[in-house]
Amino acid sequence: MASKDHRTATIQQYKAKTFDLLIIGGGVTGAGIALDAASRGLSVGLVEMNDFASGTSSKSTKLIHGGLRYLKQFEIALVREVGRERAIVHKLCPHLVVPEKMLLPLYEDGTFGKFSTAVGLWVYDFLADVAEDDKRKMLSKEETIALEPLLNPDKLNGGGFYAEYRTDDARLTIEIIKTAMQFGAAVLNYTKANDFLYDDKGKVCGLQLQDMLTGEKFVAKAKKVVSAAGPWVDEVRKKDGQLGKKRLFLSKGVHIVVPHEKLPVKNSIYFDVEDGRMVFAIPRLDVTYVGTTDTAYEGDKNHVTADEKDVQYLLDACNKMFPTVQLTKKDLSSSWAGLRPLIFEEEKTASEMSRKDEFFFSDNGLISIAGGKLTGYRKMAERTVDVVIEKMKEEGNNPVVKDCFTDQIPLGAWPIKDINDVAATRRSITKTLSGHITGAEIMAEYLVSNYGKQAVDIVKNAGQEGLSHRSLLQAEIDFTIEKELVFLPLDFINRRSGRLYFNLDQTLPYIDFMLDYFADRFGWTTAFKSEQAVVVQSAIKDAQVF
Ligand code: FAD
């Protein structure tokens, strides 16, 4: 069903029924809860005020990782949980959660010493139950330089080489949403929870909602409401009048993107910065991205951008670690900035605060969840739905539900089997595209790493009018409108395709075409089309002005 028809039908459903569970927030946390709850047998609604993954869940470092640095902070349980989750999420979505070796160069006076790293990485592998072939290797200085010739050789002692996974956070979120829909979850993007509905005992029993595309207001009823509003959790708790002492601390994290030839690292690298922090440099398609910063943030949550200081910090870090490169602002192709919703702890800096997830329970029955990591979304969801079911039972509702089995539910409409299947799909698409477009191999990698097997359909549809970059783009847009609840150009350019950050130069020549195409498909007025042109241009400016 196309996005528009799905929306009309879903809004009707919201007006007519009482859900077991309504979720506020369509980031990875809300998406995970929707899938867990719907697959266990609850009737579920989820509302997102903007587009899915438009909050923190499209602004992360895009790693499914165990969090080596948390070991240093002795967060053993967190490392064990997220470490083990990596292999599970990889199995559920092998095209989107891809094994990636990480190189950790070890320097005299660096964060990690050689002996402590050997032990730490061993513990890391052990806690995360890493397969024998993927276990960490400790490298000599010569082996480290051979693996990454760009590294600064001064005071280099050696390196650690260990297993992580990379992903695309926004695509992971949308695949979880789509899978939740297959289990009957009724999801709406561009629908804001303006306020709560209360029953005669003062307990939350639904939401006052607003369709952000039409302005229409309506209400939806539910036995339980969970807020997974990320950085907006406190704002939502305030609407319920129950802020209390425990609150969020928002930390801003910035990433910069450069063409791969400007920072041609051969591997993902996790390296020291002079102030004692560590940052990642990660090659992806034909770019390398570097991040992140970690600074307290109190500005506008709806408009977070990289500033000059953030960018300089990351450039300095790169230029020190890779001295032959010497990047300047002119080399950047884009950037993004996001907010970590951390649980505030007295007397700790942003970097020191725990990444653990926590619940907030209001006297009125609202359950909020915040903190945590992309990597741990499935376990966070399981814990949340366990709590929801327990509360429903306490309140005299006895839902008939299954135990959590999301570790057995492949993500996406047409799941891909394993990494061999991913490679075979990529090869077959490269073959189809070769001779028709330039850069067939990189295009095949882009399509398969974003859409998995669904890329086969996109290429087939594009081929109907002759394969070209433009026909592929149109087929890709069609796919996201038909199957992924895309309404506005930025949904596609940013959250569904990642083009805004990773492929901006090649996308810019097609912006007018995209605006025309959306206007045509959705029957926009000229005024609305002009409005959308401004929205797209300002997102491009935010990504490009440093
Ligand atoms: P969000 O994604 O922000 O979702 C909350 C949603 O709620 C938003 O989309 C918002 O629009 C919506 N909302 C708010 N109010 C309302 C309302 N009233 N009505 C309707 N909708 C509403 N984790 C990892 O595992 N690996 C990493 O590599 C990693 N790197 C990171 C790097 C950075 C710089 C940052 C900032 C975080 C990183 N994280 C990483 C953490 C991870 O990204 C977050 O934990 C996760 O994305 C949070 O998801 P969420 O769904 O809780 O929040």
pLDDT in tens, the chain (546 residues): 677 889 999 999 999 999 999 999 999 999 999 999 999 999 999 999 999 999 999 999 999 987 777 766 667 777 777 788 888 999 999 999 998 999 999 999 887 778 878 888 888 788 777 777 778 899 999 999 999 999 999 999 999 999 889 999 999 999 999 999 999 999 999 999 999 999 999 999 999 999 999 999 999 999 999 999 999 999 999 999 877 778 899 999 999 999 999 999 999 999 999 888 899 999 998 899 999 999 999 999 999 999 999 999 999 999 999 999 999 999 999 999 999 998 876 666 666 666 788 899 999 999 999 988 899 999 999 999 999 999 999 988 888 899 999 999 999 877 788 889 999 999 999 999 999 999 999 999 999 999 999 999 999 999 887 899 999 999 999 999 999 999 999 999 999 999 999 988 889 999 999 999 999 999 999 999 999 999 999 999 999 876
* Ligand 1 and 57: CB distance under 6 A: yes
Give me 220's structure tokens. Answer: 């939806």
Alpha-carbon radius of gyration of the chain: 23
Amino acid at 48: E
Distance between Cα 230 and ligand 1 center (Å): 5
Residue pLDDT, tens place only, 383-439: 999 999 999 999 888 888 999 999 999 998 777 888 899 999 999 999 999 999 999
* Ligand 1 and 26: CB distance under 6 A: yes
Give the three-class secondary structure for 305.
Answer: coil
Query: Do the Cβ atoms of 271 and 281 come closer than 8 Å?
Result: yes
Distance between Cα 27 and ligand 1 center (Å): 5
Which residues touch 518 (CB under 8 Å, ≥6 apart)? 477, 488, 489, 524, 529, 532
* Ligand 1 and 272: CB distance under 6 A: no
291 membership: H or E segment, kind and range: strand 287-291
* Ligand 1 and 229: CB distance under 6 A: yes
Output the pLDDT for position 144. 96
Which residues touch 318 (CB under 8 Å, ≥6 apart)? 263, 281, 290, 325, 327
Query: Do the Cβ atoms of 191 and 185 come closer than 8 Å?
Result: no
* Ligand 1 and 474: CB distance under 6 A: no
Distance between Cα 118 and ligand 1 center (Å): 33
Ligand 1 probe mutation, 47, 57, 208, most atoms within 8 A of CB? 57
Ligand 1 probe mutation, 97, 374, 377, 380, most atoms within 8 A of CB? 374
Give me 8's structure tokens. Answer: 């009309």
pTM (2 decimals)?
A: 0.95
User: Which atom of ligand 1 is closest in space to residue 82's alpha carbon?
Assistant: 25
Distance between Cα 416 and ligand 1 center (Å): 26
Output the pLDDT for position 465. 79
* Ligand 1 and 31: CB distance under 6 A: no
* Ligand 1 and 292: CB distance under 6 A: yes
